[in-house]
Amino acid sequence: MSETVRAQRASPAATRLRRRRAITADRLIAVLLIAPSAAAIAVFVYGFIGFTVFASFTKWDNLSPDFTWVGWKNYAALFNTVRFRIDLGNTVTFTLLFLAICLSVGFILAVLLDRGIRGEAFFRSIYLFPLALSFIVTGVVWRWLLNPGSVQLGSTGVNLLLDRIGLGMLKTGWYTDPRIGIKAVVIAAVWQMSGYVMAMYLAGLRGIPEELREAARVDGANDLQTYRSIIVPLLHPITLGAIIILGHISLKIFDLVVAMTGPGPGFSSDVPAFFMFDTTFRGNNFAQGAGIAVILLLMVAVLIVPYLVYSLRTETQR
């Protein structure tokens, strides 16, 4: 290329013009690149959601769809159903307990592992690997572990273990006790997911500059105070992210309940997702199943949408 041409090409004005044109063309390509995903989600998520919402207002209760409009009848019937009311209560209980315990356990493990000790990788792998299992496997194994045994045949599972190590007074009926029910499932779920929370917090802790901790130490704060006033607040974004991921898992929980407890005595471990599956494919009541799905979606939306709006707003501020 000749000197003059290159010089011309490199002139500020020319560069700006070329760059602007390139950016506009690139902007178009960007939109095109995101389009297939957007289209897929539009159909496979929003299209289906629309269909489900529509179905929930119809009379569809057989294999051949019957789209006669019945208004709010299905929803009224749902809230009149004892099983559904129990399910809603179970979901709330499960979500609150699961979030609280999982976050705490994960945080504690992360703090313990953050000391830079030898064998960290070893312990970390042990706490992490329940994540590798499917909920079905977890459910099967914990069904055995939390089976209380019986007065006649003796204890089994965890109860048996408690007996053997002398802590027999801690025995309970676990999921056979209607007052406990879904709380037993929380234990299995925490076992599976706490490793993930631990990994998140560990990463977060590592991301906190040493200077901050130094400064606190110099100022005379002990460990507990350092954690409370500096570290935990800095970990808020992680806590929030974990709440979202764990929250939506717990609202949709299905495989674990199916494999571990089934609906439980008096439906004490039943969840809406299970009821939805049961009523749709066993009871053939597609419209009612769709209604439950819509309610589930609304519950998830109540949790997620404020978070999404908030996080986007804080980002645009950055």
Partner 1 sequence: MVRRIWWLTIVSLLAIWSLFPSSHVGAAASGKLEIFSWWTAGGEAEGLKGMFTAYQKAYPSVEIVNATVAGGAGTNAKAVLATRLTGGDPPDSFQVHAGLEVQKYDPPKYLEPLSGLFKSEGWEKVFPSGLLDLLRYQGNYWSVPVNIHRANVMWISKKVFSSNYLTPAKTFDEFFTLADTLKAKGIVPFVLGDKEGWEAGHAFEAVLIGTLGANGYRGLWTGKTAWTDAKVTQALNTFKRMLTYTNSDHAALTWDGAGQYLIDGKGAMEIMGDWEDGWFQSKNFTDYGWASPPGNAGVFDALSDSFAMPKAARNRANALNWLKVSGSKAGQEAFNPKKGSICARTDCNQMLFNAYLQSSAKDWAKDALVPSVIHGAAAYESWATKYKDAMALFVTSGNVASTQAALQAACKDAGVCK
Partner 2 sequence: MALYALLAAFAILYLLPIYVLALTGLKSYAEVNLYRMWDWPAHVSLDSFVKAWVGSDAQGFRGLDNNFWNSVRLAVPATLLSAALGSLNGYVLAKWRFRGSDTIFTLLLFGMFIPYQSILIPLVQVLNRMGLYGSIQGLIFVHVVYGIPITTLIFRNYYATVPNELVEAATIDGSGIFGIFRYVMVPISLPAFAVVAIWQFTSIWNDFLFGVIVTPRPAVQPITVALNNLAGSYIVEWNVQMAGALLAALPTMLLYIILGRYFMRGLLAGSLKA
**Residues within window 259-298 making contact with partner 2, judged by CB under 8 A:** 273, 276-277, 280, 286, 289-290, 292-293, 296-297
Contacting residue, 70, 77, 161, 230, with partner 2 by CB under 8 A: 161
Given partner 1, partner 2, none, residue 152, with its beta carbon under 5 to 8 Å by kind, binds: partner 1
Cα–Cα distance measured from residue 106 to residue 94, given in angstroms and rounded to the nearest whole number: 17
- Shortest distance, CB of residue 318 to partner 1, whole angstroms? 35
Contact at 8 Å (CB) between 89 and 183? no
Nearest to 235 by CA among 275, 207, 195: 207
Nearest to 83 by CA among 267, 285, 264, 296: 267
Q: Is 284 left (phi over 0), alpha (psi -120 to 50) or beta?
A: left
Does 254 interact with partner 2 (rule: CB under 8 A)? yes
Given partner 2, partner 1, none, residue 178, with its beta carbon under 5 to 8 Å by kind, binds: partner 1
The interface with partner 1 within residues 196-255 (CB under 8 A) comprises none
Q: 3-class SS at 149?
A: strand
Does 75 interact with partner 1 (rule: CB under 8 A)? no
Q: 3-class SS at 46?
A: helix
Whichever of 44 and 310 has its CB closer to partner 1, that residue is 44
Given partner 1, partner 2, none, residue 22, with its beta carbon under 5 to 8 Å by kind, binds: partner 2
Contacts of 55 (CB under 8 A, 6+ apart): 65, 67, 286, 287, 290
Total binding residues toward partner 1, as defined by CB under 8 A = 37
- Shortest distance, CB of residue 138 to partner 1, whole angstroms? 16
Contact at 8 Å (CB) between 176 and 184? no
The interface with partner 2 within residues 117-136 (CB under 8 A) comprises 117, 121, 123-136
The interface with partner 1 within residues 105-134 (CB under 8 A) comprises none
